[in-house]
Structure 1
Amino acid sequence: MSYKTIMVHMDTSARASARLSLALKLGRRFGAHLDGLFAAFEPRPREFYVMAGTADYYDTHRKLRREQRGAIERLFRAELARAQVDGAWVTAEGDPVTAVMQRSRSADLVIVGQTDRDDPESYIAEHFTETVLLGAGGPVLVVPYAGSFESVGERVLVAWNGSREAARAVHDAMPFIARAAHVTIVAASATASLSASTSIVPAERQASCADLAAMLARHGATKVEITRFDRDAAAATGDALLSFAADGGYDLLVMGAYGHARLQELVLGGATRSILATMTLPVLMSH
């Protein structure tokens, strides 16, 4: 298994070049074709023209966006040639969210960035990343807006709860897992602790982890371990996973996205929303 078509979302945000750099590394590693899809927030023309005196602002915005898009396209093409990776530049037409989702369905892996509240240029639409996750039809690699990531996929942490979404994520991450130097399966569960400081993994969950480890080994994973996921009873699963990943020096987290109804997670929280808000390492998610 390998990723043969990778799509990276490009925009005018400060982290677009870092996202491209990672995409090029993965393109070289997997011998993949890389599509750079430019999709940025576009205000609706009617919202300008219905207000007297605002038409010029819209025209100025369009001119600036064309200039920015041209600069990013030149960067993409130059870096593509320098890295000697096959690829193509694509400009989204119409609604940017729809364009990203539609294009993502013909890619083996989609790379997007975490929304940075301090960078207005990273805003595409409300819940952009979550919407792409649900609509992509395949794995989405979300890259944090902070930090540098020289390696991705050398030490892989698999968040396993036995769900369909977790299973989908594991299969979608197999090209990373099969090449990883170390893979850890952690039984992530919101099950209440029997004590204040430890979380007990049920016997059926342990058996599921063992079955998963055996399957990964058959796919070529050379070092797979199952570890106990101890956390404070009051800690959110997402926050505890990120702490575990940081303590273990992992460079990729693999997990299912939105095991509960999306509306329920958005209202009540949930591991997916927590991870997307506070992530500290690249996360591969599948729904």
Structure 2
Amino acid sequence: MALKNLLVVVDNGKQAAARIDAAAALAARHDAHLTGLFIIAPPVLPSYVAGELGESVIALQRRLAQENADEAGALFRQRVELAGIGGRAEWRALRGNPTEVTEIVGRYADLVILGQVDPDEHRDVPPIHPEDVLFDCGRPVLVVPYAGRFQTIGDQVVVGWNASREAARAVNDAMALLETARKVSVLAVNPKSGLNGLGDEPGADISLHLARHGVPVTADHIKANGMDPGDMILNYATDMSADLLVMGAYGRSRLRELVLGGVTRHIMRHMTIPVLFSH
């Protein structure tokens, strides 16, 4: 699947500019259209509190929310012009629940670009958690870390591979990125053997599949030896100077608080480079 229609969610956070720049660079690389989305969340007030505040206070809150949207829109337009894609970019500011609006609008994009949640950043509106969008949107999600700037995404890629349905889906969703990469490394951590495992040469089968797509790919596998597998993946990505990690997100329970697998949860919290998740 070609990447021709990208969606980046913009807010008033300190990492918004870096996220827009990363999305714009990706759009420029793939000659894609980029939509910037800002969601104006309704005030979260009990009815009795809203009644006591009066219409004037509520109107003030709405005006401030619109000003925030206008500020974010100005930032988006500035950054896409600097990236040279102003003619292939559009801005949308919609009202509603931020997560729900993102999920709905994201279904009409090839890739949804979100920011990693910074637990130390104060926000007037609750942040969008990428895992919520990931499981309900039906599209792959690219999460940009809250720390750092990322001028290139997809030049050197690490694929986290465990032969699961989710990992296979992630590889397929990321194919346009993998086909244009300079180097792709398939990594299996603690590979299992047997019929449902990765065989005597872990990663060889998926590497052959990628090679048939013209992807410059190598395969590698490592044993965690007591270290957290998520840390092993991140350390490996650092050693490879990777600018993108591709992996499947999987769940072991239908309960929301338990839905992310351990590795997925660890990467979501501790990522140091952009990560493309698919489910």
Q: Same fold (TM over 0.5)?
A: yes
CA distance, structure 2, for counterparts of residue 122 and residue 15 of structure 1? 16
CA distance, structure 2, for counterparts of residue 12 and residue 267 of structure 1? 29
Identity %: 40
Whether the 8 Å CA contact 1:165–1:256 is kept in 2: the answer is yes
Any idea what the Cα deviations from partners look like across 1:225-260, whole Å, max 9, x if unmatched?
111222222x22222211221222211110001242
Aligned CA distance change for structure 1 residues 261 and 40 (closer, same or farther; 3 Å): farther
Whether the 8 Å CA contact 2:43–2:61 is kept in 1: the answer is no
Moved more, 224-233 or 41-50: 41-50
CA distance, structure 1, for counterparts of residue 219 and residue 213 of structure 2? 17
CA-CA distance at 1:131 after TM superposition:
0.7
Which residue does the alignment assign to 2:262? 270
CA distance, structure 2, for counterparts of residue 202 and residue 265 of structure 1? 31
Give the count of matched residue pairs. Answer: 274
Structure-to-structure mapping, 1:69-88, within 5 angstroms: 69-82=69-82, 83-85=84-86, 86-88=88-90
Whether the 8 Å CA contact 2:73–2:91 is kept in 1: the answer is yes
Whether the 8 Å CA contact 1:112–1:141 is kept in 2: the answer is yes
CA-CA distance at 1:28 after TM superposition:
0.7
Which residue does the alignment assign to 1:192? none
Q: TM-score of the superposition, structure 2-length normalised?
A: 0.89
Moved more, 38-47 or 164-173: 38-47
CA distance, structure 2, for counterparts of residue 217 and residue 104 of structure 1? 30
1:219 equivalent to 2:221? Answer: no
CA RMSD between the two structures = 2.4
SS at match of 1:185: strand
The amino acid across from 1:33 in the alignment is: H
CA-CA distance at 1:161 after TM superposition:
0.7
SS at match of 2:37: strand
SS at match of 1:120: coil
CA-CA distance at 1:74 after TM superposition:
1.8
Which residue does the alignment assign to 2:116? 114
CA distance, structure 2, for counterparts of residue 260 and residue 50 of structure 1? 41
SS at match of 1:52: helix
CA-CA distance at 1:105 after TM superposition:
0.6
Aligned CA distance change for structure 1 residues 124 and 264 (closer, same or farther; 3 Å): closer
Which residue does the alignment assign to 1:243? 235
Which residue does the alignment assign to 1:202? 193
The amino acid across from 1:159 in the alignment is: G
1:230 equivalent to 2:228? Answer: no
CA distance, structure 2, for counterparts of residue 167 and residue 90 of structure 1? 33
Whether the 8 Å CA contact 1:115–1:123 is kept in 2: the answer is no
Aligned CA distance change for structure 1 residues 272 and 47 (closer, same or farther; 3 Å): farther
CA distance, structure 1, for counterparts of residue 116 and residue 177 of structure 2? 20
The amino acid across from 1:60 in the alignment is: L
CA-CA distance at 1:124 after TM superposition:
3.4
Any idea what the Cα deviations from partners look like across 1:17-59, whole Å, max 9, x if unmatched?
1110111111111111111110255432445735634766544
Whether the 8 Å CA contact 1:154–1:180 is kept in 2: the answer is yes
Structure-to-structure mapping, 1:107-186, within 5 angstroms: 107-121=109-123, 124-125=126-127, 128-186=129-187
- The structure 1 residue matched to 2:101, chosen from 91, 99, 102, is 99
Aligned CA distance change for structure 1 residues 24 and 72 (closer, same or farther; 3 Å): same
Aligned CA distance change for structure 1 residues 22 and 164 (closer, same or farther; 3 Å): same
CA-CA distance at 1:84 after TM superposition:
2.7
Q: TM-score of the superposition, structure 1-length normalised?
A: 0.86
Any idea what the Cα deviations from partners look like across 1:199-246, whole Å, max 9, x if unmatched?
x65264145621111111111112x1111222222x222222112212
CA distance, structure 2, for counterparts of residue 34 and residue 268 of structure 1? 29
- Listed as ranges, the gaps of 5+ residues in structure 2 are none
CA distance, structure 2, for counterparts of residue 211 and residue 202 of structure 1? 13
The amino acid across from 1:65 in the alignment is: A
Aligned CA distance change for structure 1 residues 73 and 50 (closer, same or farther; 3 Å): closer
The amino acid across from 2:207 in the alignment is: A
